[in-house]
Chain A
Amino acid sequence: MQRRHFIQSTAGAGLALGASLFPLAARAATFNVIVVGGGMAGATVAKYIRLWSRRELSVALIEKDASYTSNIMSNEVITGKRASVASLSYSYTNLVNKYGVNRIQGTVTTIDAINKTVTYATASGNVVATYDRLVLAPGLEFDLMPGMTSTAQYDSTVPHAWKAGAQTTLLRNQLKAMPDFQNVVITIPLAPYRCPPGPYERACVVADWLRTNKPNAKVVVLDANTDIQAQKTNFQNAFNGTYGYRVDYRPGCTVTQLQLVTGANTVQFTQGGNPQSITAAVLNPIPPQRAPELLASSGLLSGRFAPVDLLSYESTLQPGIHVIGDACISGMPKAGHIGNQEAKTCANAVVNALKGNQYALAETAPVLNSACYTPLTSKKATWLSAVYQYNNGLMLPSTQNSIKQPLSASSASGDNYEDMEKWFATLMSDSFA
């Protein structure tokens, strides 16, 4: 078979000579498929294009970070149930060693859709690589909240911790340091945002932690949406029953101004048109989210996200470029399990396009089956399941068997908590191992 990858254009002279002759960008390599972004969707698409093309398509995975930190389960780092974010770290070693993915550590700066190239910055300079198909799995960027001047304030003072990492640890440390009798304020943006049940889950597990550690403190949830966005009954039962005064859930709240003072932040907001203000010893603003700037500058967005053909996740604006995961418009929740399955639909389409029906059949009616588990305490969890069927260009909740999707667990249980850990481990293996 014809492996086309890694044709080094600067040849034996090496990169030093190449860099001096072409100071702006060295043309390094050509791949059948370049994947940008090594999260749930990006890792999965790289793995499955290799698997389903019987290793005949060369795949490069360009990701700026050395490893991936899972957002799923990261609320357990905030409460100390998990020791550290390091326990949520996933390397790209298996993708390289087991599946033959070419791992490139770098930051993609430009996409040339006409010439089918990407330019990426590495420690040793800019490099240009060419592709037959480009798959973007870039995750999200976060808006500044009103009153903020820099995203660095999320890293130093008011962590959103909606991308797991150092901010997750900072939020953990702020909770430990706060005095009793104070407020933890969590703000939720208008949907769509990453992981619909996530903010409510966070409110629950933080309240559970406060019960033991700061028994007179409470969690105030300022939700821009007019109602709970997922598993409404289970969260209502938790807020009203399990946690009582410890969770103060306020729907329909628009944040108008944040005043950032470590340990004594002020949140100004309106609820039903009435201006109000609250003090937060710990402030966890979950900001509005959008596809990264690279996609905007590449002409891939309509509004905040990328419109795609849901049979292949190919952009409807730029041919040959696919967008999967949280950055695309799929009509389905932005979540890791869903990103994993979007990646498989995309991988199937890419393999079909480049290798034909012997390798992958063109899909005309994909199904996406989503599952997620949600801890409501440190020992009990619920689940949420939704099956989406392709229908006239959209992925819509299935109406098979006259069942109204999505479906959720009837209540939180210890069995569900155990299942959650197995689900998480298997999901991460399917994506990274």
Chain B
Amino acid sequence: MNLNSSTKWVAAAVACLAAQMAPAVTVSPNSITLAAGASTTVRLSKVSGTVSVSSTQPGVSATKLNATTYRINALASGKSEVQFKDQKSTAKVTITVTSTATEVLAGRLLASNCFQCHGTNGSGGFEKLAGKSANSIYEELSKFASGKEDANGIMAAHAMGFSDAQLKSIATYFASVR
């Protein structure tokens, strides 16, 4: 056995063992509620090596301030998970972004296209929409728009005429109605 390659092997094995023995990365806090447009910071501890950051939804982004501090930016209402993955493990923060008064107002005229069949402010008619979660309304509308649900029905015909952003805005409005 070549001594040089043997040394490399031992070094690699030690590094690997060290990584396995290192404690998992953690993030604090791990659950945050923010208004759209606001931001806050989170801190990582027990980081092993480089960290990659990702968000499950585009409504939330994360910016690195230093090796252990990140800023969480709430862009649009909804729920997202920001994941910090180092060489050993992954830490997650759940972010709930509440809609702003402006977001709600921006969706009102769009959503009023639904009132003729779902009642003023979504109060009833074919189905009550007022106060349902934005996610559930948006997911249902998305299924209609993509033809995955009742593709030849009148709701599909409606939803297919709106952009994805417009459907989200409609959902935001109905979720805000109390």
- Interface positions of A (Cβ within 8 A of B): 48, 51-52, 337, 340-341, 344-345, 348, 357, 360-361, 363, 366-369, 371, 383, 385-389, 398, 400-401, 403, 405, 407, 409-410, 419, 422-423, 426-427, 429-430
Contacts and interface: CB of A to CB of B under 8 A. Distances in A.
B70 interface: no
B162 A409 contact: no
Contacts of B125: 422, 426, 429
B105 A430 contact: no
Interface string B75-115: 00000000000000000000000000010011011101111
Contact of A371 (B102, B105, B117, B119): B117
A371 B116 contact: yes
Contacts of A367: 110, 113, 161-162, 166
A52 B121 CA distance: 11
Given A361-B106, A366-B109, A401-B145, A385 B116 contact: no
Given A385-B158, A403-B160, A363 B120 contact: no
B116 A340 contact: yes
B154 interface: yes
A345 B163 CA distance: 18
B120 A430 contact: yes
B152 A369 contact: no
B148 to A, nearest CB: 12
Interface string B12-44: 000000000000000000000000000000000
Interface of B: 102, 105-106, 108-110, 112-120, 124-126, 145-146, 152, 154, 157-158, 160-163, 166
A430 B163 CA distance: 25
Contacts of B109: 344-345, 348, 360, 363, 366
Contact of B120 (A366, A389, A429): A429
Scoring A52, A400, A409 by chain B CB atoms within 10 A of each residue's CB, the highest score goes to A400
B32 to A, nearest CB: 28
B117 A385 contact: no
Contacts of A368: 113
A401 B124 CA distance: 28
Nearest to A337: B116
Given A345-B109, A386-B161, A426-B119, 17 more contacts: A344-B109, A363-B109, A369-B158, A369-B162, A371-B154, A371-B158, A383-B154, A387-B158, A398-B160, A400-B160, A419-B154, A422-B117, A422-B125, A422-B126, A426-B116, A426-B117, A427-B117
Contact of B154 (A48, A409, A430): A409
23 contacts: A51-B120, A337-B116, A341-B113, A344-B112, A345-B109, A360-B108, A360-B109, A361-B102, A361-B105, A367-B166, A368-B113, A371-B158, A383-B154, A385-B157, A386-B161, A400-B161, A403-B161, A422-B117, A422-B125, A423-B116, A423-B126, A426-B125, A430-B115
Contacts of A344: 109, 112, 115
A423 B158 contact: no
Scoring B109, B110, B154, B160 by chain A CB atoms within 10 A of each residue's CB, the highest score goes to B109
B161 A405 contact: yes
A401 B116 contact: no
A360 B157 CA distance: 28
A386 B160 CA distance: 10
Nearest to A366: B109
Nearest to B124: A426
Contact of A398 (B108, B120, B161): B161
Given A371-B158, A387-B161, A430 B106 contact: no
Contacts of B162: 367, 369, 387, 398, 400
B117 A423 contact: yes
B160 A401 contact: yes
A52 B109 CA distance: 10
A279 to B, nearest CB: 41
A409 B110 CA distance: 24
Scoring A337, A360, A385, A430 by chain B CB atoms within 10 A of each residue's CB, the highest score goes to A430
A273 B139 CA distance: 56
Contact of B157 (A51, A407, A427): A407
Contacts of B157: 385, 407
A46 to B, nearest CB: 13
